[in-house]
Amino acid sequence: MADGKPATWKVVIAAILDFLLVFFVGGYVIAKLTGGITESGFELNGLPAVALFALVAVYFIGAKWVGGTVFQRLFGIA
């Protein structure tokens, strides 16, 4: 792009993929640690669900200090 900004579609796709990554991987790890694994995946209620919400928030907020999220780096927009 002429103005140095990344394409909007790259930013949106990176955000969606980052959310899915942290939700499913983080959710599975938290469920495994707290006994929330089910036959169809995982189920989080109460404190484990709050922990996953906090993990998602920390992932995106903390990305500023580590140079971007996984998919921002892969797409070259961080």
Q: Is residue 54 part of a domain?
A: yes
Kindly report the length of the chain. Answer: 78
**Domain region containing 70:** 8-74
Q: Is residue 18 part of a domain?
A: yes
pLDDT tens per residue across span 15-40: 999 999 999 999 999 999 999 899 99
Q: Is residue 42 part of a domain?
A: yes
Q: Is residue 2 part of a domain?
A: no
How would you class 62 by CB atoms within 10 Å of its CB: exposed for 0-12, middle for 13-18, buried for 19 or more?
exposed
Q: CB-side exposure of 1: number of CA atoms within 13 Å?
A: 10
* Whether pTM exceeds 0.75: yes
Q: Is residue 34 part of a domain?
A: yes
pLDDT tens per residue across span 49-64: 999 999 999 999 999 9
What's the total number of domains in the chain?
1
Q: Is residue 1 part of a domain?
A: no
